């Protein structure tokens, strides 16, 4: 059937096209010979035809019927339901259990005690017609998981986003947070960074709220009148200090049932340093209104109808956070379709299932797209097609508290993964809007090919064209870059691809649609519900189906290609850009140091400050030494050459139609070269020397982090010590790519 | 006495200094020989010693005791009081009366009629302890002067700042304001631009409100808790379309009592096109809350606690504006101290006296500084010193409704001014903060000399050093420009220097202090009171005294210098920068046109827009032709050479100590060369071809406006036709500077 369809495709392009060079007709697909590209296009057309939006809607309704947080009955019921689906579709599927430390709220109190009194409600109002919002007795109330237990009292200080630069500004205004409780707004870094930086500055408690300018009426109509965050809505979430991933009680080891040597929560290094609590902007209003002192600068003003002040004076709060610290079972579903030719080359697809409440958007919108994708693959399989390489579909548990399910699974299976894993494709939240992708850059070219092949469901254009247009309108793509590929964001953290990439050097991509559904507006709240999603998220599940088309193509192309569809030119170019950024960072830091010190000597800051307000000048900065990047530059040049040579050799081999069997194993080994056993400073389990989540950003990646973050921290010796490490990694990548090229000759 | 002091100064610097080249010791002053610079410094020290902050406070208390808007009893009483002061100090002083068209409110109504109802209060709440705010029966309620009478009903549309770019965005969203009433927030252009642009797009009424993000709690604590705008506070102000300055009923002619040929308000071209009304953010809240439709983009969101929408649907308002259109007498005070050597070379100093309500900040804070300056000058005069050249102090009436007092006076005396006026020095509002100056660039060097000589009253540094510091911190001054002079802003409009510069080519400067007093927070409201000013504005009147030091130095240096203290290097450099900006504007417009049209052809805007909302693509732009700027470039090069030659010749002549009497008249004539009788397009009375207020900005200057504004409007033929005009003007400036240089040889 497949070859018949391919033949039709060939005929349809006409004899002239058939006579043209093989790579031009039918449309080329990276990793495929011309003839097999035709087969693949035909297969993908059948795959698309099998996708049914009604499935997504029905499964979302089912999976969101009750709160399904970690350890809840519906969490397990959902996993069992997903397992049954995979089994019914013919996958070799099973559940894997892990036992993890997961705290749930025992006591929560927040009150203003001076100069007036106010007790925060810490609850979310039910909304008529929204079942999820009415299930208060079933769902976990708003809390920050892995806050330590505590009962603290102190003067309240507003710290904007709660990052280092914010504390620098407070210090300039003579405000010290030692012994005080800070209130920070969500945004500009992962939430776990806020208590971490607050504690570094001596704060004893941390309140995090959703400011309506960022996440509320400042964006548009609030739920239920619109998609945006309602006054009582609270963003839940973990606040770990992610010096390692996954279960805090089992650093670097799979949390298998019956494991010994588990850390208590007080021993665990990732538990937040100070009691931390999330609140709504309705609860934040009286707290912020009670603050006095100087008016904040305009960049610190939020959307509440009040003058924002730094505080740190008479306004005092009392805060209690206590949790039940239980070891809780979690369940990942793993469903396999074994490859017929290369069973030991794995492409893995995943999305989590657990939610903070009902999680229609996060994560069920992505989960149902992945399920539908897997079902459509099974339809192909039932009609006779089988993948050359192994495809594995996963539903992760316990992503929300810190990627516990996926991390435990990768830790449990790391030896097989190291040998076999070619790619992990992640999704999470999905909704109306524009295609986005983060990932390792060896798959950038392939993913752009897919984005050009898949049509937007609401405009007559490819999803590539719409993302390109939105990047042009947003100013991210100008002039000569207008017709470039979509550039993948560097993978950081925040979803289940993290351990694959950060610990094990497995190529990853994280894909989805967003930007037109106001999905941030119910993020991690009780309003992230089926009712919300079918009104605002993706009412027709059109972008859910489109995500299945993209994810399905990535899986099918990795499964079917004549050679694994990596391309290294974009990869090398990106790594060379990172190198250039680091060189520039040194120069910029040196220039900024000189300027800052000159201005300090001239009292510029003091002269520009209002004499009626306190002003404390910062200390002069130390000199920036010189760094020798010669070896790193040489290594990236070698990588560039190796990458160009591989891409040419792969094209030539595909044109010849002869791919030696040694190629794929050599390719799978390439990105393991990103790892160095030394790990990162203060994070020895993070082995990847190219892509890692930032120590002070959390979600956002820092690339070549050993050097970059040390420079940012002005830790010159540490930065210098990581130059050979990163150079060795880049060199190893070049060697491994050359080895892969050698197999093709 | 003076020469004795100068001798002491010379002795104090020691014999080595005395032996050094004359220009180096004592500190040089532009326009003075070395010996006379010593005299001048000594004189200025005596001048400073005469200044008493208590005077400023007492006069402010007196002048703000009652509302003193145009035509009010206290307006006339204040003018009589100021006249009596000048007479008591020995000035040759008199009042000059003009009769002008000035409307006062007769009927004001604003109500929401659908989907709910609300009637705007249009009143400002009295504040305990603030006398001015309690004088509602005496003061004019909030209104926009020169709104036409009207009674209109229509659907309400939010138009952000109400500028062309805002209407472009509305059009993209499919929203048309024809037959509707717009609500715009204050800011980003002079208020009169808002009804003008609204009417150009077919709106039938215009509401202007103060958004709290720009002007309210978004800046800090609101009055009376802090300096910023209170919820009921309204910014009054004129909304003329300033195609000419001054009295709308007498374009281009002095409004002398008994004048004939006066226009009715319906004939006057400057009256706003549609009924316009200012409101508070308390009154704006229910109107904006009633709007529906798409959520606005984030740049359009203001500070009210609601989601902002475009509207244009079911929410309707009813608005009545009616005025008493009376011819009203106004009184300028003119006080002269005639020069002993060159009585026909005039330096003029002015500040207005009329206010919208009690106007402690605007204009009395500046007025009392100018009065104290004039009094200290009289102290010098009583001790035997007399100015070489004539000094004239003015207190203007009717500035607020449209610079009526100063414009009428310049129109009445334009022939003498054309011959005699060397400089007009304006002040208006003053408060704590940083020195600012706009003006013609021939006085930039002199003014920087003054700014380096005058100390800030609250920091141990010169006012130059503090302005420099604030420009560095604000990012306006970086790297190589850190040690430049303070660059004067180009003079636009908005205070009484406008007719001097725009009509008559008289060099002007506008000086004051601002930035640390939240003065915008009570601007044109009933809360701009003595109570507010002594708490927030400049409680010790320290910056008032400092303004007197700066203004006094400018007056005294122009009065005493050996040769008028112009320098043309900065002037030529600035005009060459304007030329460069215009050349770049053509290039940028061409590039933007190409990009815009390419994106339109590729449907970029549509592909980036949410398919669930209306999107209307704009029309493609016409091609940008080429322009030949060769002659203009040659003229600016000639000006640069002429300027350098003059500055060198002046230094040499001062070093020789011989200044021929022909020099000053030649210098006075230089900037009349900025005028061309052709005037500007659609504004024939504006003759200045270098500096003018923008047709669509109002306050902000457009430089070389004949070319620049035509390019901005894509009116290529008009732009081309102004190249020879501007070239001729620049050429004439070079000729006139060369003529001045010739007098020195």
Interval B566-580: pLDDT, tens: 999 999 999 999 999
Same domain, A387 and A323: no
The whole-angstrom separation of Cα B232 and Cα B124 is 5
Q: What is the pLDDT of residue A563?
A: 98
Same domain, A255 and A317: yes
Kindly give the residue spans of alpha helices, DSSP state H, lying in A491-568. 498-502, 530-532, 542-560
The whole-angstrom separation of Cα A593 and Cα A712 is 12
Q: What is the DSSP letter of A139?
A: S
Distance from CA of B605 to the nearest CA of A (A): 7
Q: How crowded is residue B630: how many other Cβ atoms within 10 Å of its Cβ?
A: 10
The whole-angstrom separation of Cα B482 and Cα B97 is 48
The lowest-confidence range among A306-320, A512-526, B174-188, B218-232 is A512-526
Q: What is the pLDDT of residue B17?
A: 35
Same domain, A320 and A345: no
Q: What is the pLDDT of residue A106?
A: 98
Q: Is the pLDDT of residue B7 over 50?
A: no
Domain residues for the domain of A457 are 49-99+330-560
Above 0.85 for ipTM, yes or no? Answer: yes
Strands B118-119, B92-114: pairing kind: antiparallel
Q: Which of A495, A498, A506, A420 is closest to A683 using CA atoms? A: A498
Express each pLDDT in B535-565 by its tens digit. 999 999 999 999 999 999 999 999 999 999 9
Same domain, A155 and A112: yes
Q: How crowded is residue A92: how many other Cβ atoms within 10 Å of its Cβ?
A: 13
Same domain, A579 and A445: no
Which percentage of chain A shows pLDDT scores above 90?
93
Q: Do B516 and A612 touch (CB under 8 A)?
A: yes
Q: What is the pLDDT of residue B26?
A: 58
Residues of A within 8 A of B481 (CB-CB) are none
Q: How many domains does chain A have?
A: 3
Residue B212 φ then ψ, to 5° = -65, -20
Same domain, A342 and A308: no
Q: Do B516 and A610 touch (CB under 8 A)?
A: yes
Q: Is the pLDDT of residue B20 over 90?
A: no
Q: Are B420 and B527 in contact (CB under 8 A)?
A: no
Residues of A within 8 A of B458 (CB-CB) are 611-612
Residues of A within 8 A of B218 (CB-CB) are 298, 301, 307
Find the radius of gyration of the CA atoms of chain A. Answer: 26
Number of residues that make up chain B: 745
Residues of chain B in Cβ contact (below 8 Å) with chain A = 212-213, 217-222, 226, 228, 295, 298, 301, 303-307, 432, 458-459, 461, 465-466, 468-470, 472-474, 479, 516, 595, 599, 602-608, 610-612
Confidence of residue B4 (pLDDT cuts 50, 70, 90): very low
Confidence of residue A19 (pLDDT cuts 50, 70, 90): very low
- What CATH number does the domain containing A378 carry? 3.40.630.10
Q: What is the dihedral of CA B493, B498, B499, B501, to 10 degrees?
A: -120
Residue A11 CB contacts under 8 Å (≥ 6 apart), including other chains: none
Which letter, b or e, does each residue of B184-214 get, where b requires 16 or more Cβ atoms within 10 Å of its Cβ? bbbbbbbbbbbbbbbbebebbbbbbbbbbbb
- β-pair partners for B424: B348, B508
B50: part of which helix (H) or strand (E)?
helix B34-50
Say which residue the tokens 């030659």 belong to. B645
B352 part of a folded domain: no
Say which residue the tokens 């002398």 belong to. B256
Omega of the bond prior to A363 within 30 degrees of 0, cis? yes
The lowest-confidence range among A372-381, A510-519, A523-532, B544-553 is A510-519
B165: part of which helix (H) or strand (E)?
helix B164-172
Average pLDDT over residues B36-40: 96
SS3 category, A641:
helix
Where does a domain end: A509, A532, A560?
A: A560
Confidence of residue B518 (pLDDT cuts 50, 70, 90): confident
The whole-angstrom separation of Cα A505 and Cα B201 is 59
Q: What is the pLDDT of residue A331?
A: 98
The whole-angstrom separation of Cα B189 and Cα B402 is 15
Q: What is the pLDDT of residue A480?
A: 80
Residues of chain A in Cβ contact (below 8 Å) with chain B = 212-213, 217-222, 226, 228, 295, 298, 301, 303-307, 432, 458-459, 461, 465-466, 468-470, 472-474, 479, 516, 595, 599, 602-608, 610-612
Distance from CA of B188 to the nearest CA of A (A): 17
Confidence of residue B25 (pLDDT cuts 50, 70, 90): low
Q: Are A221 and A513 in contact (CB under 8 A)?
A: no
Residues of B within 8 A of A604 (CB-CB) are 468-469, 472-473
A34 part of a folded domain: no
Where does a domain end: B290, B307, B326?
A: B326
Q: Is the pLDDT of residue A194 over 90?
A: yes
Same domain, A256 and A308: yes
Q: What is the pLDDT of residue B390?
A: 98
Residues of B within 8 A of A306 (CB-CB) are 217
Average pLDDT over residues A174-202: 97
Average pLDDT over residues B84-88: 98
Average pLDDT over residues A633-654: 98
- What CATH number does the domain containing B266 carry? 3.50.30.30
Distance from CA of B657 to the nearest CA of A (A): 37
Handedness of CA B541, B542, B546, B552 (dihedral sign): positive
Distance from CA of A726 to the nearest CA of B (A): 34
Distance from CA of A433 to the nearest CA of B (A): 7
Q: Mean pLDDT score of chain B, rounded to an integer?
A: 95
Residues of A within 8 A of B595 (CB-CB) are 479
Q: What is the pLDDT of residue B639?
A: 98
A125 part of a folded domain: yes
Pick the residue of B169, B230, B284, B305 with the most A CBs within 10 A to test the interface with A by mutation: B305
Express each pLDDT in A696-712 by its tens digit. 988 789 999 999 999 99
Q: What is the pLDDT of residue B2?
A: 33
Q: Do B461 and A605 touch (CB under 8 A)?
A: no
- The DSSP line for A571-608 is HHHHHHHHHHHHHHHHHHHHHHHHHHHHHHHTTHHHHH
SS3 sequence of B402-453 = CCHHHHHHHHHCHHHHHHHEEEEEECCCCCCEEEEEEECHHHHHHHHHHHHH
The whole-angstrom separation of Cα A134 and Cα A463 is 37
Same domain, A578 and A535: no
Q: What is the pLDDT of residue B18?
A: 35
The whole-angstrom separation of Cα A304 and Cα B738 is 61
Express each pLDDT in B315-368 by its tens digit. 999 999 999 999 999 999 999 999 999 999 999 999 999 999 999 999 999 999
Q: Is the pLDDT of residue A12 over 80?
A: no
Q: What is the pLDDT of residue B77?
A: 98
B430 part of a folded domain: no
Helix axes B716-743, B569-601, angle to 10 degrees: 170
Nearest CB among A217, A470, A611 relative to B307 is that of A217
Average pLDDT over residues A50-61: 98
Task: Show the tokens assigned to B195.
Answer: 């009804």
Residue B497 CB contacts under 8 Å (≥ 6 apart), including other chains: B406, B424, B426, B439, B491, B508, B509, B510
Nearest CB among A212, A306, A599 relative to B472 is that of A599
Nearest CB among A432, A458, A608 relative to B469 is that of A608
- The DSSP line for A52-92 is -HHHHHHHHHHHTSS---TTSHHHHHHHHHHHHHHHHTT-E
Nearest CA in chain A to B592: A479
Where does a domain end: B304, B326, B348?
A: B326
CA distances from B424 to B91, B347, B349, B499, B644 (A): 18, 6, 6, 10, 24
Nearest CA in chain B to A300: B218
Confidence of residue A494 (pLDDT cuts 50, 70, 90): confident
Q: Which of A373, A203, A184 is closest to A274 using CA atoms? A: A203
Distance from CA of B547 to the nearest CA of A (A): 18
- The DSSP line for B57-114 is HHHHHHHTSS---TTSHHHHHHHHHHHHHHHHTT-EEEEEEEEEEEEEEEEEEEEEEE
Confidence of residue B81 (pLDDT cuts 50, 70, 90): very high
- What CATH number does the domain containing B703 carry? 1.20.930.40
Q: What is the pLDDT of residue B520?
A: 81
Say which residue the tokens 């391919």 belong to. A6
Q: What is the pLDDT of residue A26?
A: 58
Average pLDDT over residues B597-604: 97
- The DSSP line for B704-723 is SHHHHHHHHTT-HHHHHHHH
Distance from CA of A484 to the nearest CA of B (A): 15
Strands A237-238, A144-145: pairing kind: parallel
Nearest CB among B218, B226, B608 relative to A301 is that of B218
Q: Is the pLDDT of residue A315 over 70?
A: yes
B322 part of a folded domain: yes
Q: Are B344 and B390 in contact (CB under 8 A)?
A: yes
Express each pLDDT in A117-147 by its tens digit. 999 999 999 999 999 999 999 999 999 999 9
Average pLDDT over residues B400-409: 98
Which percentage of chain B shows pLDDT scores above 70?
96
The lowest-confidence range among A96-105, A279-288, B513-522 is B513-522
Residue A124 half-sphere exposure toward CB, CA atoms < 13 A: 32
Q: Which of A483, A545, A456 is closest to B608 using CA atoms? A: A456
Same domain, A506 and A645: no
B27 part of a folded domain: no
Same domain, A82 and A181: no
Q: Mean pLDDT score of chain A, rounded to an integer?
A: 95
Average pLDDT over residues A282-288: 98
Nearest CB among B432, B472, B479 relative to A604 is that of B472
Is the pLDDT higher at B479 or at B675? B675
A33 part of a folded domain: no
- β-pair partners for A349: A393, A425
Task: Show the tokens assigned to B741.
Answer: 């240089």
Q: What is the dihedral of CA A435, A440, A441, A447, to 10 degrees?
A: -40
Q: Are A42 and A9 in contact (CB under 8 A)?
A: yes
Q: Do B472 and A608 touch (CB under 8 A)?
A: yes
Same domain, A279 and A370: no
Nearest CA in chain B to A467: B608
The whole-angstrom separation of Cα B559 and Cα B387 is 5
Q: Are A242 and A248 in contact (CB under 8 A)?
A: no
The whole-angstrom separation of Cα A121 and Cα A108 is 10
Q: What is the pLDDT of residue B570?
A: 97
Q: If you count residue pairs, one on A and one on B, with CB atoms under 8 Å apart, how many are there? A: 114
Distance from CA of B158 to the nearest CA of A (A): 14
Omega of the bond prior to A53 within 30 degrees of 0, cis? no
Nearest CA in chain B to A457: B611
A398 part of a folded domain: yes
Q: Do B472 and A226 touch (CB under 8 A)?
A: no
Same domain, A66 and A106: no
Q: Is the pLDDT of residue B24 over 80?
A: no
Pick the residue of B469, B482, B521 with the most A CBs within 10 A to test the interface with A by mutation: B469
Express each pLDDT in B440-457 by its tens digit. 999 999 999 999 999 999
Q: Is the pLDDT of residue A580 over 70?
A: yes
Q: Do A222 and B307 touch (CB under 8 A)?
A: yes
- The DSSP line for B511-540 is EEEEESS-GGGGTTSTT-SHHHIIIII-TT
């Amino acid at each position: 059937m497949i070859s018949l369809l391919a033949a039709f495709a060939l005929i349809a392009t006409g004899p002239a096209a058939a006579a043209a060079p093989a790579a031009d007709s039918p449309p080329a697909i990276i990793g495929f010979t011309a003839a097999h590209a035709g087969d693949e296009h035909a297969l993908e057309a059948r795959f698309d035809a099998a996708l049914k939006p009604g499935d997504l809607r029905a499964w979302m309704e089912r999976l969101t019927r009750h709160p399904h947080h970690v350890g809840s009955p519906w969490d397990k019921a959902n996993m069992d339901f997903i397992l049954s689906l995979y089994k019914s579709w013919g996958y070799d599927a099973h559940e894997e259990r892990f036992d993890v430390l997961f705290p749930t709220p025992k006591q929560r109190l927040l009150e203003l005690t001076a100069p007036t009194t106010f007790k925060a409600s810490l609850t979310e109002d039910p909304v008529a017609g929204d079942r999820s919002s009415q299930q208060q007795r079933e769902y976990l109330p708003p809390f920050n998981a892995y806050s330590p237990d505590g009962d603290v009292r102190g003067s309240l200080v507003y710290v904007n986003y709660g990052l280092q630069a914010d504390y620098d500004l407070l210090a300039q205004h003579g405000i010290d947070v030692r012994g005080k409780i800070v209130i920070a707004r969500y945004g500009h870094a992962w939430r776990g960074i806020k208590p971490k930086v607050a504690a570094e500055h001596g704060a004893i408690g941390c309140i995090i709220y959703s400011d309506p300018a960022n996440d509320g009426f400042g964006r548009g109509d609030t739920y239920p009148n619109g998609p945006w965050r309602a006054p009582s809505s609270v963003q839940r979430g973990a606040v770990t200090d992610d010096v390692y991933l996954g279960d805090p009680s089992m650093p670097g080891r799979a949390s298998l049932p019956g494991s010994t040597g588990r850390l208590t929560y007080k021993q665990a290094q990732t538990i937040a340093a100070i009691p931390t609590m999330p609140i709504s902007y309705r609860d934040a209003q009286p707290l912020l209104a009670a603050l006095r002192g100087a008016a904040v600068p305009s960049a610190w003003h939020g959307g509440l109808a009040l003058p924002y002040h730094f505080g740190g004076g008479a306004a005092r709060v009392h805060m209690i956070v206590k949790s039940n610290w239980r070891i809780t079972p979690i369940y990942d579903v793993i469903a396999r379709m074994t490859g017929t030719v290369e069973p030991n080359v794995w492409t893995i697809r995943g999305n989590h299932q657990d939610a903070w409440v009902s999680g229609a958007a996060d994560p069920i919108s992505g989960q149902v797209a992945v399920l539908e994708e897997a079902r459509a693959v099974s339809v192909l399989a039932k009609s006779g097609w089988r993948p050359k390489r192994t495809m594995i579909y996963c539903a992760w548990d316990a992503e929300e508290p810190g990627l516990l399910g996926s991390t435990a699974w990768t830790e449990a299976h790391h030896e097989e993964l190291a040998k076999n894993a070619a790619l992990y494709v992640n999704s999470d939240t999905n909704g109306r809007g524009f295609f986005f992708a983060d990932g390792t850059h060896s798959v950038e070219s392939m993913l752009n090919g897919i984005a050009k092949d898949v049509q937007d469901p609401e405009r007559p254009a490819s999803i590539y064209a719409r993302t390109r247009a939105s990047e042009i309108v947003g100013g991210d793509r100008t002039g000569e870059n207008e017709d470039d590929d979509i550039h993948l964001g560097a993978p950081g953290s925040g979803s289940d691809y993290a351990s694959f990439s950060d610990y094990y050097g497995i190529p990853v991509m994280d894909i989805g649609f967003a930007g037109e559904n106001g999905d941030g507006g119910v993020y991690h709240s009780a309003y992230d519900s089926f009712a919300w999603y079918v009104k605002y998220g993706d009412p027709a599940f059109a972008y859910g189906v489109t995500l299945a088309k993209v994810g399905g193509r990535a899986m099918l192309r990795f499964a079917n290609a004549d050679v694994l569809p990596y391309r290294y030119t974009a990869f090398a170019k990106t790594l060379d850009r990172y190198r250039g950024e680091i060189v520039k960072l040194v120069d910029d830091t040196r220039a900024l140091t000189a300027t800052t010190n000159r201005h300090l000597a001239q009292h510029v800051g003091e002269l520009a400050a209002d004499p009626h307000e306190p002003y404390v000048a910062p200390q002069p900065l130390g000199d920036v030494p010189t760094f020798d990047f010669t070896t790193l530059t040489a290594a990236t040049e070698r990588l560039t050459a190796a990458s160009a040579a591989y891409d040419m050799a792969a094209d030539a081999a595909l044109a010849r139609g002869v791919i030696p069997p040694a190629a794929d194993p050599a390719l799978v080994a390439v990105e393991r070269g990103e790892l160095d056993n030394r790990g990162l400073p203060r994070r020895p389990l993070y082995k990847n020397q190219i892509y890692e989540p930032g120590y002070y950003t959390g979600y956002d990646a820092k690339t070549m982090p050993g050097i970059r973050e040390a420079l940012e921290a002005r830790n010159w010796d540490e930065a210098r010590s990581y130059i050979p490490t990163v150079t060795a990694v880049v060199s190893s990548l070049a060697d491994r790519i050359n080895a892969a090229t050698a197999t093709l000759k």
